[in-house]
Amino acid sequence: MLQEVSLGQKSLADYTHIAGKELTEHIRALAEPLKGQRILHVSATAFGGGVSEILYTIVPLMRDAGLDAHWHVIFGKEEFFNATKLLHNSLQGAEETLSEEQWELFDEINAINADGLQGEWDTIVVHDPQPIGLRRGASEKSRNWIWRCHIDLSEPNPAPIARLQPLIEEYDATVWHMPVYVPNGMNGNGGIRIIPPAIDPLSPKNMAFSPDDAAFVCHQFGIDVDRPLITQVSRFDPWKDPIGVIDAYRLVHEQMPDVQLALVGSMATDDPEGWEFFQHTVEYADADPDIKILNNLNNVGAIEVNAFQSQSDVCLQKSIREGFGLTVTEALWKGRPTVAGNVGGIPLQIEDGKSGFLVDSPDACAQRCIEILADPELGKRLGRAGKEYARREFLSPRLLRDWLQLFGELDT
């Protein structure tokens, strides 16, 4: 059997002062005809990454709206997650892809999970490639099936997408961050929907944090709170480019020797490659005392991430490939000036020069950091614009509205 994720309670009413009364009332109207429907979300892991963060909020909000919503995670073993990490990278363009033996393991684990899927559902939402075979193996378990893709498939390695596309097209609907992520020639029974992700503004990671509290937490991890701080929060993954972040920091440090860098991330159970790259990043930092490299094994959780982002003079997301980059929205929501890679879903969140800066290289990243650090008023102006845009477009109530609209459309 798949494992059910235990969830806390959320109330849509608590978000009204942020999202506005009009959106809240629209959500209630959309939810009314769907009350009592059984909705299941299925993902690869319950922690470490944007998908799980979204589901910890959106599933309880669906329950508050009257749906019987649940979240299950699949069974997998190390060899399977090694293969799916390789699959993830190759779907984003990496040349290396799965061997025939790995594809056989992929199919085998998906079949096991399909056999273990319990219950009868109105809609099952399958998140990302790891459990994509569930619909083929358990189609009778739900009236509607949705595949939700959280990664950039605009330029995939041809071999894996050719293998997966027939599975994708069996779903009643597919959901993507952006139109450009949809593979060429993609068809689907119920069509393609574009729904960007969102953050929870009331979660411990994003709730309002006083400057004194943020400084206190950062001080516990060796940050000198009287000196400038640059922070990137992300997985330790080549696509997130922590090596390029260190290169940019070193360029900034040449002109501003007081600057400090924090690389903060969580290690996910479905990302065995992450441990190897984490160690590579530590080695590349070369024991620089002003580079702090932290993860959840250092007791860095949601509160600590909030503190680092809130304390930072500049937040980075210098990705070279990115599905969306929720850490950008997190930084914007906290009113922090943000410099990020001009890739994937990041340009949806940042209007270059108005709500942040988009960059294509460590040199450009360093230059933008220097501009912000040298001009506090520029940082404040970027921060205010970014926060308001995040409030309008990338918070959980808007995402809930979009999901309810889709469920309603599939029921008509």
CATH of the domain at 311: 3.40.50.2000
Between these two residues, 72 and 237, which has the higher pLDDT value? 72
What is the maximal distance between C-alpha atoms in the chain? Answer: 63
What is the rounded distance in angstroms from the CA atom of residue 349 to the CA atom of residue 195?
14
Who has greater pLDDT, 78 or 42? 42
pTM of the model: 0.90
| Mean pLDDT computed over 212-240 | 95
Of the candidates 15, 64, 62, 50, which has an alpha carbon nearest to the alpha carbon of residue 391? 15
- Residues 188, 185, 326, 329: is their CA dihedral positive or negative? negative
Domain count, the chain: 2
Indicate whether 258 belongs to any domain: yes
Predicted confidence at residue 289, as pLDDT, reads 97
- Is-contact 65 27, C-beta < 8 A? yes
**Average pLDDT value for residue range 255-266:** 95
What is the DSSP code (8-state) at residue 238?
A: G
The arithmetic mean of pLDDT across residues 400-406, rounded, is 98
Is 331 found in the same domain as 191? no
Together in a domain, 181 and 216: no
Mean pLDDT for 73-94 is 92
Cβ contact 326:199 at 8 Å: yes
Residue 126 in tokens: 């399958």
Q: Give pLDDT tens digits for 4-18.
A: 999 999 999 999 999
251/324 same-domain check: yes
The pLDDT value recorded for residue 297 is 79
The token duo for 252 is: 């900034």
List, for residues 228-244, the tens digit of each pLDDT value. 999 999 988 888 999 99
Strand partners, 395: 199
Q: What is the pLDDT of residue 187?
A: 63
Range of the domain at 275: 211-393
Cα 85 from Cα 322, distance rounded (Å): 15
State the burial class of residue 365 (Cβ atoms within 10 Å of its Cβ: 0-12, 13-18, 19+): buried
Tell me: do 19 and 95 sit in the same domain: yes
Handedness of CA 356, 360, 364, 370 (dihedral sign): positive
Q: Are residues 250 and 318 in the same domain?
A: yes
What per-residue confidence (pLDDT) applies to 268?
A: 62
171 is a domain residue: yes
| Predicted pLDDT of residue 48 | 66
Domain membership of residue 24 (yes or no) is yes
What pLDDT shows up at residue 130? 97
Q: Is the dihedral of CA 186, 189, 192, 195 positive or negative?
A: negative
Model confidence pLDDT, tens digit, residues 105-120:
999 999 999 999 999 9
What mean pLDDT value characterizes the chain? 94
Q: Would 203 be classed as within a structural domain? A: no
Q: Does 402 map to a domain? A: yes
> Do residues 385 and 399 share a domain?
no
Q: What is the pLDDT of residue 42?
A: 98
Residue 104 lies in a domain: yes
Q: Are residues 307 and 193 in the same domain?
A: no
* 289 and 399 belong to one structural domain: no
Any domain includes 67? yes
pLDDT at 270 over 70: no
Q: Does residue 158 sit in the same domain as residue 292?
A: no
Same domain flag for 67 and 126: yes
Same domain, 283 and 386: yes
Confidence label for 291 from pLDDT (cuts 50, 70 and 90): very high
Co-location of 190 and 314 in the same domain: no
Confidence of residue 186 (pLDDT cuts 50, 70, 90): confident
68 pLDDT above the threshold of 80: yes
**Percent of the chain residues past pLDDT 90, beyond the cut:** 83
Q: By the 8 A CB rule, do 91 and 231 touch?
A: no
- 206 lies in some domain: no
pLDDT band at 188 (very low <50, low <70, confident <90, very high): low
Closest residue by Cα to residue 256 from 382, 377, 375, 379: 375
In the chain, what percentage of residues exceed pLDDT 70?
Answer: 98
Report whether 240 contacts 232 (CB < 8 A): yes
The DSSP secondary-structure symbol of 412 reads -
Q: Is 297 exposed, middle or buried (0-12, 13-18, 19+ CB in 10 A)?
A: exposed
How is residue 173 written in tokens?
């609907």
